[in-house]
């Protein structure tokens, strides 16, 4: 399985994305907490996007950047590998955990935030306002992130973060991927986009099928 952190992010391809948390219009804002202690908690995923019955899903890539293409059946078949971050946010307005899907370039932005705000306390103790600059479907859309508050909360005080692998990102074996390449589906797989929680909590998470809605 392919994972990357801030030090190895440049070895993985593909930028772009949309999210489960979204600001749809120019100048929309939201107050959030990033559910991380530090940059060490930030993990990227190398994924492939597939379609089953008209719905798009992400599948975990089975090789690291320095491993042969043949280790991942989807890479061997020429399917594009994407580098994604699924950033867990706590929405201050709704009290929900939401996932913000970002491309690998977001590592630079979150690294800067951690360097400035997570040296002596957890990043999640800071409240940020995210502001969108860009109209719907504008590929040049950017997001400003500004600190607007701080308290003493830790991750233990906030809702549990959903597990990404096995939830939003399907974890398939090479054999299952081979089956998909032959049949266009996974054997004995239900097309569910539920997000499991690591400790079984029932916090509500915004769920949406990848590649639906606003891409930018």
* pLDDT per residue as tens digits for the range 56-114: 999 999 999 999 999 999 999 999 999 999 999 999 999 999 999 999 999 999 999 99
- pLDDT on residue 5: 55
Is position 114 within any domain?
yes
Cβ–Cβ < 8 Å for 200, 2: no
Is position 43 within any domain?
yes
CA distance 96 to 118: 22
Is position 98 within any domain?
yes
Residue 151's Cβ-side half-sphere holds a number of Cα atoms within 13 Å equal to: 8
The answer, yes or no, to whether residue 132 has pLDDT greater than 90, is: yes
Is position 199 within any domain?
no
Is position 45 within any domain?
yes
The pTM score is 0.77
**Integer CA distances (angstroms), 201 to 21, 97, 122, in order:** 20, 12, 22
Range of the domain at 85: 3-23+37-120+161-183
Domain total of the chain: 1
Is position 137 within any domain?
no
CA distance 125 to 159: 13
Is position 216 within any domain?
no
Cβ–Cβ < 8 Å for 52, 184: yes
Residue among 197, 210, 213, 207 nearest 159 (CA): 197
Is position 7 within any domain?
yes
């Amino acid at each position: 399985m392919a994972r990357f952190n801030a030090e190895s992010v440049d070895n993985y391809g593909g930028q772009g994305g949309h999210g489960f948390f979204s600001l749809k219009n120019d100048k929309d804002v939201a107050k959030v907490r990033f559910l991380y202690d530090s940059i060490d908690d930030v993990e990227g995923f190398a994924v492939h996007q597939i379609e089953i019955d008209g719905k798009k899903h992400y599948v975990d890539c089975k090789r690291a950047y320095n491993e042969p293409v043949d280790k991942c059946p989807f890479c061997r078949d020429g399917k594009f590998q994407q580098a994604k971050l699924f950033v867990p946010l706590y929405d201050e307005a709704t009290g929900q955990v939401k996932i913000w899907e970002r491309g690998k370039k977001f590592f630079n932005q979150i690294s800067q935030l951690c360097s400035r705000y997570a040296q002596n306390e957890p990043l999640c103790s800071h409240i940020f306002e995210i502001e969108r600059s860009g109209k719907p479907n504008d590929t040049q859309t950017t997001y400003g992130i500004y600190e607007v508050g701080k308290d003493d909360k830790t991750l233990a005080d906030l809702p549990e973060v959903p597990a990404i692998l096995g939830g939003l990102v399907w974890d398939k074996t090479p054999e299952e991927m081979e089956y998909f390449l032959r049949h266009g589906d996974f054997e004995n797989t239900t097309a569910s986009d539920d997000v499991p929680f690591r400790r079984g909590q029932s916090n509500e998470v915004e769920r949406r099928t990848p590649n639906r809605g606003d891409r930018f």
